[in-house]
Amino acid sequence: MPRELAYIAAIDEAIDLEMRRDERVLYYGQNLATTENDEFMKNFGKDRVRVTPISETAEIGMAVGAALTGLRPVVELYMAEFMLVAMDQVVNEAPRFRYMSGGRVSVPLVLRAGYGFTAGWAGQHTGSIYGMFMGVPGLKVALPTTPADAKGLMATAIRDDNPVCFFHHYLLTLEHGDVPEGEHLVPFGQAAIRRSGGDVTIVATGWMVGQSLEAAERLAAEGIEAEVIDPRTLTPLDTDTILASVAKTGRLVLVDQATRAASAAAVIAGEVAEHGFGDLKAPIKMVCALDATVAYSQPMEEYVLPDPSKIADAVRELLGVAPSALQESSSS
């Protein structure tokens, strides 16, 4: 039976259930097990739940080593930007060993990190840097949007024999939704259609899915039916679902909180341009963050990032219809 849980609680529930199911699962990070009252510490003890030094290089390096011995570590990194100081471990070590050993060893670890810390977190904590991990062979990338998917994708990530970057958007942390009880797995590489429509396809990631759904509701009032797709994982990417939608609508808007050149949207645009070009009735539109560091100032932050109004405007431009014209046609 599903019941309502916060997004962050759903992630923790997945980790708790997987630790109960498999004693090889470890959980550690700089903000874990700091007191004896830590729930994970009380349930699983200090051998499996540990606080680490303030060194991402150390904690991710330890995770790679633990995974090579057959354990399944989950590392709480708090912010995705903190991974940047340990990129050798993330990009050049963890994803390579399984291939380089001919499959004789595997590296089953999960790097859990928040991203998109807006609302005044300024330049070094607001990045949406998941795009830079998409092109690393052997590394999987998950971006859950709903609490149910947060639980299901985390469980799947822990069971995967490859390293997984599990990125969760900060502004989704306290969002509530129905979450299945007990074991719940969401398969990698299977997108979700969050809203059906026949006029335009909108593919959005993370927090932008909610922004796109709000834009779709505004457009529906104007007679435009948008189909909203949430990839859920970027690697592997479910291009089949996206291409099928584009074949139906003939138009594509990609919404991504990352800057244009560093976005997952750019990769998806390339896939559609190559494999679905004949279905397109208009050029692909990309609604991304402006090419600027996100400012501390809220008005400047809002100016840089996508929002429902910008998404809706992109759809209208793609369809060649102005809001005023739509209102006039509906009233006549």
Range(s) for CATH 3.40.50.920 in the chain? 192-331
pLDDT in tens, 252-261: 999 999 999 9
- Domain 192-331: CATH architecture, name and number where available: 3-Layer(aba) Sandwich (3.40)
pLDDT tens, 225-242? 999 999 999 999 999 999
Mean pLDDT, the chain, integer: 91
Does the structure show a pLDDT above 60 at 143?
A: yes
Question: Rounded to an integer, what distance in angstroms lies between the CA atom of residue 3 and that of residue 184?
Answer: 13
For residues 58 and 100, the answer to whether their CB atoms sit within 8 Å is no
322 vs 251: which has the higher pLDDT: 251
Do 75 and 110 contact (CB within 8 A), yes or no? yes
pLDDT tens profile 275-287: 999 999 999 999 9
Which regions of the chain carry the CATH code 3.40.50.970? 2-180
Q: What is the pLDDT of residue 297?
A: 81
Q: Which of 125, 168, 169, 184 is an active site residue?
A: 125
Domain 2-180 listed as CATH 3.40.50.300:
no
Q: What is the pLDDT of residue 6?
A: 96
Is the pLDDT at 329 greater than 50? The verdict is no
What does the alpha-carbon distance between residue 266 and residue 259 come to, in Å, rounded to a whole number? 10
DSSP 93: I
pTM: 0.92
- What is the chain's Cα-based Rg? 21
Amino acid at 194: R
Q: What is the C-alpha to C-alpha distance for residues 256 and 271, in angstroms, rounded to an integer? A: 16
Average pLDDT, integer, range 70-76:
96
Q: What percentage of the chain has pLDDT greater than the value 70?
A: 94
Residue 226 structure tokens: 């948008």
Q: Give percent above pLDDT 90 in the chain.
A: 74
Q: Where are the beta strands (DSSP E) in 147-197?
A: 164-169, 176-180, 192-195
Catalytic residue list contains 125: yes
Cis peptide before 236 (omega within 30 of 0): yes
User: Does pLDDT of 136 surpass 90?
Assistant: yes
Least confident of 61-65, 234-238, 323-327: 323-327
pLDDT at 118 > cutoff 70? no
Residues making up the chain, counted from first to last: 332
